[in-house]
Amino acid sequence: MTENAAPRRRRADAQRNVDALLEAAKRVFATSGVDAPAKEITDLAGVGVGTLYRHFPQRAELVAAVLQREIDVLADAGPALSAEHRPGDALRKWLLRYTALVGTKRGLATALHSGDPAFDALPGYFMARMEPVLAALLGAAATAGAVRADVSAKDLLHAVALLCQPVRGEDLEFNQRMVAVLADGLSPRV
């Protein structure tokens, strides 16, 4: 294939298999971590192990694909939430979705920092997709007087990620309560 040639489109059945694998991997990673057995993922997806390895020969490629898909879903949710809710509410709802993304990816931080080249582009991709979405939500909420204007999207992305670090004996609900406290702290100063 030449550099300028468009990538080949997957057949519809192959795309369904990839979609099923990504959804199953997302669910399995949330409960069993990123090192869960391949068979657990393929059983949930309703495909064979060979299908998994045909599309994702290395575990890191599957992890990266799941994360990229989740990043895209969350980034796409920003404008939809803005259209459906008042600016402050849209921001809060998006932050809780971001918390769910970060808080349910057990072992993901370790995998991302493993030095595996499959993950090299993900931090840049994450920031390129998330920062503008969150900046728009923050800007709209600040303009509406719902939040203070001295917090950047980058600050908030990092703060929520830090609040989602695993705490022994706690689960996603704990992370969401802590992010709700952070969101309350975004209220304008009186």
Please determine, for residue 164, whether its predicted confidence score (pLDDT) is greater than 90: no
pLDDT for 170: 84
Element (H, E) at 85: none
Distance CA 156, CA 138 (A): 10
Structure tokens at 110: 């370790």
Q: What are the CB-based long-range contacts (under 8 Å, 24+) for 12-16?
A: 14/55
Single-letter code of the amino acid located at 56: F
Please determine, for residue 143, whether its predicted confidence score (pLDDT) is greater than 90: yes
Q: How confident is the model at residue 1 (pLDDT cuts 50, 70, 90)?
A: very low
**Region 126-143: what's the mean pLDDT?**
96
Please determine, for residue 110, whether its predicted confidence score (pLDDT) is greater than 50: yes
pLDDT, tens only, 41-63:
999 999 999 999 999 999 989 99
Q: Any idea where the domains of the chain sit in the sequence?
A: 8-57, 60-184
Domain 8-57 falls in which CATH fold? Arc Repressor Mutant, subunit A (1.10.10)
Go through the chain and tell me how many residues it has: 190
CA 1 to chain centroid:
32
Q: Which CATH class is domain 60-184?
A: mainly alpha
